[in-house]
Amino acid sequence: MSCHTSAFFGMGTVLRTERFFGTLPLIVASPTSRFFICAGRRLFYVLDGWLTALVALLAGSLAFGLSFSHANLIGLLACGLAGTASATCCGLFLGAYGLKATDVNLIMNLATYSLLVLAGVNFPVESLPGPLQAVSRALPLTRAVAGARLAYAGGSWVELAPLLAMELATGAAYLALGYVWFRILERRARHEGAFDFY
């Protein structure tokens, strides 16, 4: 989950940060697509989240004596990378609300704690009620968490590949939704002149 926090919040608060420093009107006035300016920062947050998860794994192994001798380490790292990429796409989708709102922290916090419950981080998705399981399958990180558990248990690439593919597809879907949502909110914010206010 450490990969999620850095990537999700970092990407989700990009527009809030631009608004806070007074640079959002400059981004809006630029001839380049505002969405691609924000999405271009995604790579940094993917790497930051992935490295955060790597440090957390190392600290956990030292502090709690976790053994990775039986784990598929490359698979575990791939699950972290896929989960981080998916989380940044979802963060971009939710962070687009920063074009209209002065503070997206409430939205990001609600989404974070919802993911803790629904993505199978603290307990298996199968223990959730049926409708919440369906919601869980539409969220990022669900398959990355399941894949990480499988990789830690020594799961093979044949078992991990479908989970990783589905996680990346979920991230791509959130990226596409984020683009549409960003464009809609950008048009509304232009119409209302809501870029300058903090």
60-93 pLDDT, tens digit per residue, is 888 998 888 888 989 988 998 898 889 888 888 8
* pTM for the full predicted model: 0.84
Show the beta-strand stretches assigned E in the chain.
none
146-168 pLDDT, tens digit per residue, is 999 999 999 999 999 999 999 99
DSSP H/E element including 13: none
Least confident of 22-36, 105-119, 176-190: 22-36
Domain ranges of the chain: 2-192
Two structure tokens written together for 151: 């990789």
**What are the residues whose beta carbons fall under 8 Å from the beta carbon of 157, sequence distance 6 or more?**
72, 75
Higher-confidence residue of 3 and 172: namely 172
Tokens 């209302």 label which residue? 192
Burial environment of residue 19 by CB neighbours within 10 A (0 to 12, 13 to 18, 19 or more): buried
Q: What torsion, rounded to 10 degrees, do the Cα atoms 113, 114, 117, 121 define?
A: -70
